[in-house]
A and B are shown apart, each in its own frame.
Chain A
Amino acid sequence: DADVTQTPRNRITKTGKRIMLECSQTKGHDRMYWYRQDPGLGLRLIYYSFDVKDINKGEISDGYSVSRQAQAKFSLSLESAIPNQTALYFCATSSTKFPKGRTDTQYFGPGTRLTVL
């Protein structure tokens, strides 16, 4: 979805390096999410944010941190990258403010392929 962008699209780094993945959205959504996707494991939630001041851990938050700089921006950091963090990372957004009421549909960015050597 072009309304959700992620940078970089690909990144190769070394063990121990600090890495930041960025996500921006123009959908006006209040909620944002970070997932990782590994073959055979599906999408797993790392962190989610319901608004700028509300950040929550997901099921696999260890080794990661996030920052919600503005409603439209949500970044994911790997403090000290390790090889088992090699994966596809997706940002997603959703909204609680549609005119029709609550919607749980999440819209995804194109992903970042991260390789940790």
Chain B
Amino acid sequence: GESVGLHLPTLSVQEGDNSIINCAYSNSASDYFIWYKQESGKGPQFIIDIRSNMDKRQGQRVTVLLNKTVKHLSLQIAATQPGDSAVYFCAENSGGSNYKLTFGKGTLLTVNP
């Protein structure tokens, strides 16, 4: 079956730098994507989402970019802070009426002071 995948399992950045976390998806029918942040010992926390009729969406310090041509999703975090250290994973909804999400395995972001 089709699934969501990540290019990098770990990412280490310096505090204040911008971070980019990537995600590839293979289901061309997917029409909704979400980025989650999971801190150690906690449940996944919604960060930002984007629908397939958009190619960019911005939140507070975060931007999600969607490139449907190459089936690629990225999360950009501006001015990364130590509190941003966590596992980030993307999820896709493949459309249809069941609204189930398929989750990627995650990228561990470590922010060095």
Interface residues of A (CB under 8 A from B): 1, 4, 31, 40-43, 45, 48, 58, 90, 94, 96, 102, 104-111
Q: Nearest-CB distance from B113 to chain A (Å)?
A: 26
User: Does B81 sit at the interface, judged by CB under 8 A?
Assistant: no
Query: In the complex the two chains form, what is the Cα distance from A110 to B32 in whole Å?
Result: 24
Query: In the complex the two chains form, what is the Cα distance from A58 to B45 in whole Å?
Result: 21
Contact across chains for A96 and B99 when beta carbons are under 8 A apart: yes
Contact across chains for B100 and A48 when beta carbons are under 8 A apart: yes
Interface residues of B (CB under 8 A from A): 32, 34, 36, 41-46, 49, 89, 91, 93, 99-101, 103-106
Contact across chains for B99 and A1 when beta carbons are under 8 A apart: no
Q: Knowing A42-B89, A42-B106 touch, does A108 contact B45 (C-beta < 8 A)? A: yes
- Taking a contact as CB atoms closer than 8 A, the residue among A94, A96, A110 that contacts B43 in the complex is A110
How many A-B Cβ pairs are below 8 Å?
A: 45
- Taking a contact as CB atoms closer than 8 A, the residue among A43, A90, A104 that contacts B99 in the complex is A104
Query: In the complex the two chains form, what is the Cα distance from A95 to B88 in whole Å?
Result: 23
- Taking a contact as CB atoms closer than 8 A, the residue among B36, B101, B103, B105 that contacts A104 in the complex is B101
Contact across chains for B99 and A108 when beta carbons are under 8 A apart: no
